[in-house]
Amino acid sequence: MSADPTRKSSGRARRKVGIERSKRGTPNVRGFRAQDADAVTALVKQSPQAAIWSHASYVKFAEGDGSLVLVTEADGEISGLLVGRQVEDQAEILNLAVATNRRRNGEGTALLVAALEEFGLRAVKTVYLEVRESNTGAIAFYASHGFAKTGRRNGYYRDPVDAAILMGKKLTG
């Protein structure tokens, strides 16, 4: 993934994400706000396998057509992030990160489920993602949520060099 996101339009009018949830025992998932950019930038720096974007890139990307940027909050602080984008009837998860001290508490799942629900509402048929081949935990996580391996790209990642495992999930409507 590149340091700065590219902008692609789905050709559809932008729909405001209406996700704002907090059930007992479930992390609060909500849409990204511009004032979250500092916290999000600090969060992804804790996750060496996450794509690190600049503060300005998060704000600009979130304003783009087809974009989806979700965060989780715990104790009033940003604790998780999911960045995705839609182009036509396809979507891509570009980044998912959860604070080190909040991992394995369901925040990654809450973000992914919320994103899949939102993409479904946007008439997305298939969601794709790429993950480092060495990130076996992430591969298992996505597989447990119905993503299947669809391909491999040798030498896709840098620092360190690693292959990308391509994964996809069909959404049923």
Q: What integer pLDDT is reported at residue 58 of this predicted model?
A: 83
Is 96 inside any structural domain? yes
List pLDDT tens digits, range 107-122. Answer: 999 999 999 999 999 9
Residue at token pair 């600009």: 60
What percent of the chain is modeled with pLDDT above 90?
Answer: 50
Distance CA 124, CA 104 (A): 28
Are 86 and 121 within 8 A, CB to CB? no
We report the CATH number of the domain holding residue 87 as: 3.40.630.30
Is 137 inside any structural domain? no
Is 171 inside any structural domain? no
List pLDDT tens digits, range 83-97. Answer: 999 999 999 999 999
142 an active-site residue?
yes
Is 15 inside any structural domain? no
* Residue partners of 135: CB distance under 8 A and separation at least 6: 49
Please give the average per-residue pLDDT across 48-59, as a whole number.
Answer: 77
List pLDDT tens digits, range 145-161. Answer: 999 999 999 999 888 89
Is 92 inside any structural domain? yes
Is 155 inside any structural domain? no
Which domain, by its residues, includes 91? 22-129
The catalytic position among 117, 130, 156, 157 is 130
Are 156 and 163 within 8 A, CB to CB? yes
The catalytic position among 58, 92, 118, 142 is 142
Q: How many CB atoms lie within 10 A of CB 80?
A: 27
Q: Please, how many CA atoms are within 13 Å of residue 32, restricted to the half-sphere of its CB? A: 27
130 an active-site residue?
yes
Number of domains in the chain: 1
Distance CA 66, CA 145 (A): 22
Report the predicted TM-score, pTM, of the whole model to 2 decimal places.
0.82
Is 158 inside any structural domain? no
Mean pLDDT, all residues of the chain: 83
Is 29 inside any structural domain? yes
Q: What integer pLDDT is reported at residue 166 of this predicted model?
A: 98
Q: Is the pLDDT of residue 98 over 80?
A: yes
